[in-house]
Structure 1
């Protein structure tokens, strides 16, 4: 294989060789140092680009889990905000505690609650099952729903009419394959509306 070199290229190469021959030792060292510095700069730049690409890949990999965590936190924040609003509303009614004594557990038994809540459903066995929905919200079976209601601060204070809550939840039941379950947000909403309904009746 033959190499064809133009006279112009030969001239440039000759000029470069002559320039280097004309350089002093100090100039030659500086030129070598400049070349080494340029090579080191290119290597650092390549490493930096590779680091950025690796970080980007890691961020893209975690983006889905971060989005799901954000949705879960939003639901938790909404639930907490709802509970705070209920507490603020009831604390502004000083006559309510005296008008509604803490007798709710005696007025409504769990067996009555299960019978009433599960009446439209074929499976009438109360379960304390708690599962998670696809969007990250808790789903409570009838037994777990009763436990949730009677542990709620508003129920303990005697503000909640369990019969009203049961009526509101009848149409909100979902099925998880084992029986009826109720979204935690729906239970909170029923409790809130029960309290609001009781307050309206006192006015």
Structure 2
């Protein structure tokens, strides 16, 4: 009995299940390839948003009606026109800004030029003031221009006859028709005896003259009348 027991202990039972499974071909399950997700982490944020928006828009457009598609196209066109207007406006503002900066530079240069011109004029004015003050202190009264120390009859006649039509000097008459000397106004006091000499004046070519006898007679008459102002 001990011998049989030892044999049973060493006896390994036959595994029918494993034997069966080993004979049945094992079917391998086919694994699907992993879905490759876009590597958004390596793209900029704005590009990621744009890509996701395009993807969602493409899905939405497939479900839109024709009317909705037209409205969406019109909206895109309006947005494009708005962007173009904004870009033109920005360019116009940039051009105006550049022009204003240029004008500002030109005005600054003109201002500097005027400042230099004003400073130059002020300097010249100060020099003129200093020069005029020095000359006035040196001689307060200007020297009179006496001219040439000689008498020229032609110069005298030129000044006397300036306002007359006949500018030719006339010969001076010194004797009257009776052979008497002709006395000018400088030799008698016409202010006192002018009334007595009215009607007796003669012209010698340059002014009134009187017969000596007439003047003497007027003087005698004035003296006889009691007027001694000429004495």
TM-score when normalising by structure 1:
0.32
Structure with more of its chain in helix, by fraction:
1
Q: Tell me: higher relative CO, structure 1 or 2? Use CA pairs within 8 A at least 6 residues apart.
A: 1
